[in-house]
Structure 1
Amino acid sequence: MVEPILKDPSAESRLFAERAVMAGVLVLVTMLVVIARLVQLQIGSHAHLSTLSRYNHVRLEPLPPTRGLIYDANGILLADNYSSRSLELTPEEIRDLDATIAELGELIDIGEADLKRFARIRKLRRRFEAVPIRTNLTEEEVARFAVTGHRFPGVVVRAQPLRIYPLGEYTAHVLSYVGRINKQELERIDASNYAGTNHIGKGGVEKAHEALLHGTAGYCQVEVNAQGRALRVLKRKPPEAGQHLQLYLDSRLQQDAHAALGDRRGAVVAIDPGTGGVLALVSRPSFDPNLFVDGISSVDYKTLRDSPHKPLFNRAIRGQYPPGSTIKPFIGLGGLETDGGVTDAKWCPGYYRLPGHRHKYRCWNRWGHGTVTLEKAIVQSCDVYFYKLAQVMGIDRLHGFLAGFGFGTRTGIDLAGELGGLLPSRAWKLSARNQPWFIGETLLVGIGQGPFLATPLQLAVATAALAARRLIRPRVVRATGAPGSAVEREFPAQVRQLPVASRNLDRMIKSMVQVVRNRRGTAKGIRTKAYSIAGKTGTVQVFSIKQKERYRESEVAEHMRDHALFVAFAPVEDPRIAVAVIVENGGHGGAVAAPVARRVMDSYLLRMPPLAAVGEIADGQ
């Protein structure tokens, strides 16, 4: 017999109540979670989500500014822009990036180099920023994409200006070039102002004046459909184009100076003494800056980088060389100013010995110059005279006086990458080498040797200071605005007076005139009746010679031969141009560097047709 199941109403009521409470708590917790999420979405993330919502139908596109143009002193275009079309991808709008790139590769030629560049640039950009995968599309490629472009959301063909340098290698070391923005540059620039811009100045005028040339970016609000296709423009803020620049540079003179150096390694700097404007700035060998604009190939870059002639190296503002005898007019002027005993004639037997020492400091003329005055020492470049003068002046007075002409510091030219040379002193040697200064080193400084280093630009600036009787900070850029435009604005010259007596300057300049005019002058080969020249030659040893050895150029390897230097200004009565020339391993300054300077001065002062060869300049001209 089965016993009946007895119900417990009170227990059932408790169980029901417990379950109802648990269900109520669960519902309450769920509602609180939902409410909290709604609060977070509606209040906390309102700005972000509304932006995303708007972005579903409104896209903000950057409008890059047009880069300013660069003109020479005569209005000739040195840096221009041309329109190029590029294929750009926005990663955020593409579901399968790899598949999209593969499909695009069937329409447009996308090489391995393009893919590597795309991957590199993509790392520097945010996901919502467009990244170019192919540039310089042909008309056929643009038409092909236009037909099937609707299949590729997030992919557009966009026109963008690219830089071109009409004179190529002739202006490479002045203007430099623009190139793709790298990671380091991205960290220091205003990213919003460079939105849509892929290039930035890498050196020279392009880098030094980037803020003027670049301009200000604009933007465009575009309404798009679900596929990302633009429907209409809602709002547009146009970009502000970069400012045009006018240079002091004379492009014809630049080309003639380039030709005057020929195939030799070296540099030429020409300055207007009246304004400080750089008329020519040449470094040879050079390179074609157009190779870098849209990304240079690894093969081309390796060729330039590994060349023993260093075409990428700007010798004019970064080459640091002993100034040699070109420094002697400044040493002589220092002697006149400081009463360094220059009024006394000195005997030159072909060498000089310090009292109590056996070491001979040799003159370039092993037979000696006999009795030498300051004028004769400048004209014939007697080393012994300047050994003795440097000893009397001492390194402290030498350093102080030469520093007044800008040696040992950067000139402050408006180009990127300038070096300041080295004007040695007691403090420098103690700091750099932890050694005391020796009197023998003072003698070497007196002839522009030893640790003394200067750039061709510094030599040109100092020579221009002699001509103008004041030190003017050199400038490449004369004004902003297109030539003849109403918005043209000229930069003022920065001038510092030289604390030198006029009578001493007159005496030194007369001596420099005789360097060219005198039949025993070291630059007599470039004298001319067309205009008067004041100059000074220099020859710099590349390696030391033992006391009993003689330097024979024909027996020395080309890369170990002396450097040839020359500085000059003309016309002496009304200086219009000051020139500094260095020819690496060229030999004697009077025979090699001086004719280069003469050809440059002829080009500017006489506007003659370019000479067929430097060697055509003969004695007596």
Structure 2
Amino acid sequence: MTEIRNVAADIARFKRRVIVIGLVVLTAFSLLCLRLAYLQVVRHEDLAEQAENNRTAVVPVVPNRGLILDRNGIVLASNYSAYTLEITPSKVADLEETIDGLSSVIEVGPRDRRRFKRLREDSRSFDSIPIRTRLSDEEVARFAAQRYRFPGVEIKARLFRNYPHGEIASHVLGYIGRINQTEKAAMEEWDDEDYDNYRGTEYIGKLGIEQSYEKTLHGLTGVEQMETSAGGRAVRRLNGHPATPGNTVMLSLDIKLQKMVEDMFGERRGAMVALDPKTGEVLAFVSKPTFDPNLFVEGIDSESWKELSESIDKPLLNRALRGTYPPGSTYKPFMAMGALQTGKRGPNVQINDPGFYNFAGHRFGSPEGNIGNVDMRRSIQLSSNIYYYSLANEMGVDLIHDFMKPMGFGQITGIDIGGEVRGVLPSTEWKRNAYKRPEMKKWYAGETISLGIGQGYNSFTMLQLAQATSIIADGGHKHRPHLVVATRDTVTGKTQPVEQPPVDDLHFAPANVAVVREGLQAVITGGTARAVFTGAGYVAAGKTGTAQAVTQAQNTKYNAKALEEHQRDHALFMAFAPANDPKIAVAVIVENAGWGAGAAAPIARRVFDYWLLGQYPSEADMAAIKVGKASAPIGKPRLASEAAWPAVAAAVAVPAAAASAPAATTP
């Protein structure tokens, strides 16, 4: 049967379908055009930037760290660049297998593995951590040929800090080390400008000048825009601006004097601070034993750290800044000044010294024995304990405290390196706060007696003793001790002096200062230090001292041979010279060395000879001083100008490959 179709209806239906499809196509095409217009016009800049970022990387350029110089321009801290082999743990599937594989290409020793493990514990998984440093050109070439085997491992060029004189002045300079997690968290609290300036920086100052002048030494971070391949490898440099090196820090320290003093200590422990009494500049700042700051630059290994941290000699302790000691008889000149200034005792008052002092049923002895009547000048010259026992009793602990506090005893001096400790300047209030048990909080009158001879609760640093000595030397003027005298801009070359606080005048009466100075001069010309200063080409003023390291039972005779070496008395000496126009003031302690005139005063004598006369100890003299068997100089002294500057330590010489390595870190 024939099908009858409605042709007109079919055509109409077809036209409707064509129209619908046409509208759909037109709508889709319109949407495509709108999207294209949106991407090409509205989001053009954003997408162009993203595209640019896909082929480029912005890399921070860490600046060269600033130099540290002594007062004569001798470089104490510098930089060199060297290649390092680094691993990013997050990019490595099997870390141990990777390190084992690297060992077949480049030597990776047990020490390198230990250091890597320790650094990894202080770092995040996506941080790049060095496994080997200071690679030779041959090692770099060997790894480059095998690089495809080690994803997540790269050769980088990094800046390394170098302390060319090794252990000399290490407690002053400090060292730099890798930023740990605690320091990273603290840096996040910095303002944006400072925080941004440390992008890419992995090492900062940890101690000493390196820490206190960190931002001055760091410099300004630069940037480089690099074109990269699909695999993230740098292809070429497109744009950027260079880093600005850190500024140079110039110290008041004389490195030749510093080395001379460190050598004179030999294997003994102790500290010495030498100041310019008219400015507060630190001329030498010695703590023995020392350590090599180069050990910390790449991350110190566990064996070296254990040796330093567990040594009974405590080489990491800055004894000049953080070691506290009873001042012994070196405290007596300051007690005399306190008596004069407060009116408690005049200079001509005679006190009988029979060799003992009785107070409240207790007998306080004196090693000097019966020396008869002494006035203030002779009490200093002959170091009369009895004179100062009675003076301490008359003044009382709180008056002693109130006089000594402005002189800096038991106070923070404000020197420009961190870590300074306060020590103890006792008072009734101090004891109430220091102890918890009620019976311990009370101050007993008998405790005051030993304060007069620098014993008891007294405990001060050599920096504090040197500052107080400088105050006497400069007639009652107090200067803040400081190591940094100026900074030099690396771009302009301009030297900018570091401003110091105004001088604090303690208003000492000139007549009172003269009395104390006369007593101190008498120590040198006719007292306990007479033999040490025989033949000196100047007149000095000083005071020897001996301080107990451990408390001896009352009425027990001191016998050094019966004690362990670390329990024997300390030897101290404070002095300034020339007496009539002081140019240098020193405080010295030689731990457990006994008598101040035998161990500490000879060191001060050679310091004065160097600074005032330009003389350097003869080899025979130096050998005698090191073992505490020197008095006046032995043999003919050398000219200080002809003595060699401290030699650059061979152990930290820059490898040949390092000298040619680029300073910037490559991406």
When the two structures are superposed, what TM-score results if normalisation uses the length of structure 2?
0.81
Asked if structure 1 preserves the Cα contact closer than 8 Å seen for 2:617 and 2:633, the reply is no
- 8 Å CA contact 1:527–1:620 kept in 2: the answer is no
The offset of 1:96, in angstroms, is 7.4
Task: Report whether the alignment pairs 1:348 with 2:353.
Answer: yes
Alpha-carbon distance between aligned partners in 1 of 2:47 and 2:91, rounded to the nearest angstrom: 17
Contact 2:575 2:587 in 1 (8 A): yes
SS in 1 for 2:443: coil
Corresponding residue for 2:306?
A: 302
Secondary structure at 1:142 match in 2: helix
1:366-394 per-residue CA deviation (whole Å, 9 max, x = no partner) reads x3221111011000110110111111111
The change in CA–CA distance for 1:150 and 1:441 in structure 2 (over 3 A counts) is same
Matched, 1:579 2:563: no
The alignment partner of 2:142 has SS state of: helix
Q: Given the superposition, is the C-alpha separation of residues 93 and 556 from structure 1 closer, same or farther in structure 2, using an over 3 Å criterion?
A: closer
Q: Give the Cα–Cα distance (whole angstroms) in 1 for the partners of residues 492 and 571 of structure 2.
A: 43
Amino acid at match of 1:498: L
How far apart in 2 are the matches of 1:351 and 1:590?
23
Is residue 275–residue 470 contact of structure 2 (8 Å, CA) maintained in 1? Answer: yes
Shift of 1:539: 0.6
Report what 1:110 is aligned to. 108
Residue ranges of structure 2 left out of the alignment (5+ in a row): 1-34, 189-194, 636-667
Are the structure 2 counterparts of residues 381 and 291 from structure 1 closer, same or farther at C-alpha, using a change threshold of 3 Å?
A: same
CA distance in structure 2 between the partners assigned to 1:558 and 1:442 by the alignment: 29
Number of the residue aligned with 2:455: 449
Classify 1:322/1:173 alpha carbon distance in 2 versus 1 (closer, same or farther; 3 Å).
same
Q: Is the 8 A contact 2:83 2:133 kept in 1?
A: yes
CA distance in 1, matches of 2:406, 2:574: 18
Deviates most, 195-204 or 402-411: 195-204
* 1:256 alignment counterpart: 260
Q: Equivalent residues in 2 for 1:417-432 (5 A)?
A: 417-432=419-434
Aligned-pair CA distance for 1:558: 2.0
Kindly state the Cα deviation for residue 573 of structure 1 after the two structures are TM-superposed.
Answer: 2.1
Contact 1:176/1:289 (<8 A) preserved: yes
Q: Aligned to 1:360, what secondary structure does the other structure show?
A: strand
Distance 1:108 1:53, change over 3 A: farther
8 Å Cα contact 1:539-1:564 kept in structure 2: yes
Matches within 5 A, 1:466-615: 466-469=472-475, 470-481=477-488, 486-494=493-501, 495-518=503-526, 520-611=527-618, 612=621, 613-614=624-625, 615=629
SS where residue 104 of structure 2 aligns? helix
Unmatched tracts of structure 1, length 5 or more: 1-37
Q: Which residue is 1:410 aligned to? A: 412
**Aligned residue number for residue 618 of structure 1:** 632
Counterparts of 1:332-347 in structure 2, within 5 Å, are 332-342=336-346, 343-347=348-352
Give the whole-Å Cα distance in 1 for the aligned partners of 2:521 and 2:490: 37
Confirm or deny: 8 A CA contact 2:377 2:519 kept in the other structure: yes
Residue of structure 2 in register with 1:242 after alignment: 246
The equivalent position to 1:82 in structure 2, one of 80, 89, 102, is: 80
Identify the residue that residue 361 of structure 1 maps to in structure 2.
364
| Contact 1:201–1:210 (8 Å) recurs in 2 | yes
Contact 2:528/2:544 (CA < 8 Å) preserved in 1?
Answer: no
- For the residue of structure 2 that corresponds to 1:87, the secondary structure is strand
Aligned-pair CA distance for 1:489 = 0.7
Deviation at 1:155, TM superposition (A): 4.2
The alignment of Structure 1 onto Structure 2 pairs a total of residues equal to 575
Confirm whether residue 438 of structure 1 aligns to residue 444 of structure 2: yes
**Residues in 1 aligned to 2:47 and 2:432: alpha-carbon distance in whole angstroms:** 65
Name the SS of the counterpart of 1:516 in structure 2.
helix
1:206 Cα offset (Å): 0.9
Residues 548-583 of structure 1 deviation map (CA, whole Å, 9 limit, x = unaligned): 321123333322211110000011122111111001
CA distance in structure 2 between the partners assigned to 1:130 and 1:48 by the alignment: 31
Query: Which of 112-121 and 368-377 deviates more?
Result: 112-121
Alignment of 1:313-324 (within 5 A): 313-324=317-328
Give the match for residue 229 of structure 1: 233
| 1:515–1:524 CA contact under 8 A, matched in 2 | no
User: How far apart, CA to CA, are the structure 2 residues paired with 1:50 and 1:94?
Assistant: 33
The letter for the 1-side match of 2:351 is K
Query: Is the CA contact (8 Å cut-off) linking 1:70 and 1:78 kept in structure 2?
Result: yes
Q: Give the Å deviation of 1:100.
A: 5.6
Amino acid at match of 2:129: V
1:311 shift after superposition: 1.2
Assess if the C-alpha contact under 8 Å between 1:268 and 1:316 holds in 2: yes
Q: 1:485 to 1:391 in 2, by over 3 A?
A: farther
Q: Is the 8 A contact 1:256 1:603 kept in 2?
A: no
SS, match of residue 402 in structure 1: helix
What does residue 158 of structure 2 align with? 160
CA contact (8 A) 1:410 1:418 kept: yes
1:486 to partner: Cα distance: 3.7
Deviates more, 1:483-492 or 1:95-104: 95-104
SS in structure 1 opposite 2:309? Answer: helix
SS at match of 1:564: strand
Distance in 2, matches of 1:57 and 1:134, equals 30
SS of structure 2 residue aligned to 1:169: coil
AA aligned to 1:344 is V
Q: What residue in structure 2 maps to residue 202 of structure 1? A: 206
- Answer yes or no: is the 8 Å Cα contact 2:529–2:601 preserved in 1: no
2:509 partner letter: A
Q: Deviations over 1:284-335 (max 9, x none)?
A: 1112211121122211221122211111111111110001111111110010
Cα drift, residue 196 of structure 1: 2.7
Note the C-alpha offset of 1:455: 0.4
CA contact under 8 A between 1:346 and 1:373: conserved in structure 2? yes
Q: Please name the residue that 1:21 is paired with.
A: none
**Structure 2 CA distance for aligned equivalents of residues 442 and 472 of structure 1:** 29
CA distance in 1: counterparts of 2:264 and 2:187, whole angstroms: 40
Change (3 A) 1:47 1:513: farther
Q: Are residue 370 (structure 1) and residue 352 (structure 2) matched?
A: no
Over 3 Å counting, the alpha-carbon distance change for 1:298 and 1:341 in structure 2 is: same
Deviation at 1:153, TM superposition (A): 5.9
SS of residue matched to 1:320: coil
Report the TM-score, using the length of structure 1 for normalisation: 0.86
**Which of 41, 56, 59 is matched with 1:58 structurally?**
56
Partners of 1:595 and 1:137 in 2: how far apart?
A: 47
> How far did 1:247 drift?
0.5
Question: Do 1:364 and 1:382's aligned partners in 2 also have CA atoms closer than 8 Å?
Answer: no
Identity of aligned residues (%): 44
CA contact 1:249–1:476 (8 Å) conserved in 2: yes
Residue 106 of structure 1, CA deviation: 3.5
Q: 1:209 to 1:582 in 2, by over 3 A?
A: same
- Opposite residue 544 of structure 1, the aligned amino acid is T
1:181 pairs, out of 166, 179, 182, with: 179
Residue of structure 2 in register with 1:390 after alignment: 392
Give the RMSD, CA atoms, in angstroms: 2.9
Q: Give the deviation of 1:231 after TM superposition.
A: 2.0
Q: State the 1:500 CA deviation.
A: 1.2
